[in-house]
Structure 1
């Protein structure tokens, strides 16, 4: 069992930290809104800290899952940041979906301070976090990764090292590119089936058994048909991720015409009032 800290208790971080506590790890938590940290401690035990530095003090591994690059820097760097409280040789594991650039920046800062850093964005959404079945994509040194993998598996079904610092974030970008295209294709398929007068649920049941089958079809097809979007991974979060990966594509020369188009479609969904709708709400711009 490890002495760990968890920074950020949102819809992902709170259940992830909860799984660590359930597995018997000694968990100290920090959240920008202190009430959330206190509520988490009331539910799971452990301790709440007033600053990232305080939370990280004496911890073997410090986890974080916050909003974006700037949020991440705010809990890591500076006098009250986690790095200031961590002991030499301890490891910072970042589960934020952020840029590869900030991952490399923080890995260099950790190295200069005698610390270790793993970028480890996740896939699986809120349900995956709550059920402890996330997929974790990691970048960093192998020896450091091997230290943290058994602890990460408290809330993961799969965890893998993909390369040096930044590789986890780059892999998450690949994940989001694939999702964007699949959801748009599924939206158009369901829209077409409706216009053709077909029984959409029967169609989905049949084609999900063949080459068209996907996680999105199995888990979102019926709710898309019913236009239910008040759950899941929010459109505004997806647009944040797409913005990161499109910026990366401009740096590395990758051509992503479908992804760029889907990002524009999500902008239309946001304009419809769908910022917090699930990403499957792409179909709404076709139906409404």
Structure 2
């Protein structure tokens, strides 16, 4: 008998992630705030949908969530129609949302009181990673819970790692976003400099990507950056949300994130020129806009 699972929220990440679970042979019930999207998912993948989080998770052994932020998470977890109202003792709740570590611990405590296991498990890899089933998952929680659900998560992940107790998955995701912010800013400045110096940007990247400067961002984003196209991934609005979480955590733990704070301000500049839905490589658009004003 296949395992019954649920997936809450079918955004650009959740829609394909839930689809991989269904294709892997699990009995999947989905919930989405906009019912039409849940119906579209069933049409494409099969499975079932429900009209409340509670109804979607009733009877499921494992429940996955991937919503937008802390408030979104609370809105689907709590309340008489929320996830916890429908889950049974002994089941597992996995949150793939990028949130604060604080809310992860909060939800974890509520789950413990109900004898429900909880993992905070933010992901990296973007929409393409979700669609291709090759996400990286950063996990906080208990070893026995992780061991139980890791084979199920493998339906949409190429790598998952248990870091430590609840909240550590979110802390690791903060490190991930901190590193990405610095790398993308460096790439944007490098391409901007190449253009100002009269160099062929493609030849420059073809050369330096083979050495120590190479990165995923360089390999996957330089062509669209040079073309001024920024519709290929994680949006600036969401990156600012994530960097805000990291900066808040740094104020709490005493870490110094001077570059992260600076790049966060640069992303604010991108928003001010109408680029809130641009992908994160649009830091180059900011430099281009500055140049055009001169």
Matched length:
288
* Secondary structure at 1:162 match in 2: strand
Corresponding position: 1:251 with 2:252: yes
Distance 2:130 2:29 in 1: 18
- 2:244 matched to 1:209? no
**Which deviations, in whole Å up to 9, do the C-alpha atoms of 1:127-148 show, x marking residues without a partner?**
0000000000000000011111
Give the Cα–Cα distance (whole angstroms) in 2 for the partners of residues 126 and 189 of structure 1.
26
Partner of 1:111: 112
What displacement does 1:222 show? 1.3
In the alignment, the residues of structure 1 paired with residue 104 and residue 192 of structure 2 have an alpha-carbon distance, to the nearest angstrom, of: 40
1:126 corresponding residue in structure 2 = 127
Which residue in 2 is equivalent to 1:6? 7
Q: Deviations over 1:195-254 (max 9, x none)?
A: 111111001000000000000000001111111102211000100001111001000000
SS at match of 2:7: strand
Aligned to 2:154: 153
CA RMSD of aligned residues (A): 0.6
For structure 2, list consecutive stretches of 5 or more residues without a partner in the other structure: 290-294
Moved more, 71-80 or 165-174: 71-80
* Aligned residue number for residue 227 of structure 2: 226
Structure 1's consecutive aligned runs of 4 or more residues displaced over 6 angstroms after TM superposition are none
> What is the SS of the residue equivalent to 2:189?
helix
Cα distance, 1:272 vs. partner?
0.4
Partner Cα distance (2:231, 2:77) in 1: 33
Where does residue 179 of structure 2 map in the other structure? 178
TM-score when normalising by structure 2: 0.97
Q: Which residue in the other structure is 1:138 paired with?
A: 139
Q: For 1:105 and 1:142, how far apart are their aligned partners in 2?
A: 19
Deviation at 1:77, TM superposition (A): 1.0
Structure-2 residue corresponding to 1:90: 91
Could you say what secondary structure the match of 1:192 adopts? helix
Q: Aligned ranges for residues 4-83 of structure 1 at < 5 Å? A: 4-83=5-84
Which whole-Å CA distance do the structure 1 matches of 2:111 and 2:149 have between them? 16
Deviations 1:239-277 (A, max 9, x none): 000111100100000000000000000000000000100
Are 2:192 and 1:188 aligned? no
Report how far residue 32 of structure 1 moved: 0.5
What TM-score comes out, normalization by structure 1 length? 0.99
**Distance (whole Å) between structure 1 residues aligned to residue 136 and residue 170 of structure 2:** 13
Residues of 2 paired with 1:150 and 1:285: CA distance? 42
* Counterparts of 2:287 and 2:94, CA distance in 1: 40
Q: Within 2, Cα distance between the matches of 1:230 and 1:14? A: 19
